[in-house]
Amino acid sequence: MAKMLKDGASYNQREVVDLLVEFSSFKDRVNKRFKILATELEGKNNEHDLWVNLYLISTDYAEELYNKRQKQQDNLRQQENLQKIS
Question: How far out from the chain centre does Cα 16 lie?
Answer: 15
Distance set, CA 50 to CA 23, 65, 72, 75 (Å): 13, 23, 33, 37
The candidate with the shortest Cα–Cα distance to 3, out of 44, 42, 58, 59, is 59
Residue 11, SS3 per DSSP? coil
pLDDT reported for residue 85? 74
Q: Strand (E) positions, 1-86?
A: none
Question: How do residues 3-49 score in pLDDT, each as one tens digit?
Answer: 556 666 666 777 777 777 888 888 888 778 878 877 777 777 777 77
Contact between residue 50 and residue 26 where contact means Cβ atoms under 8 Å apart: no
Q: Mean pLDDT over residues 50-69, rounded? A: 82
CA distance 15 to 18: 5
Residue 73, pLDDT score? 87
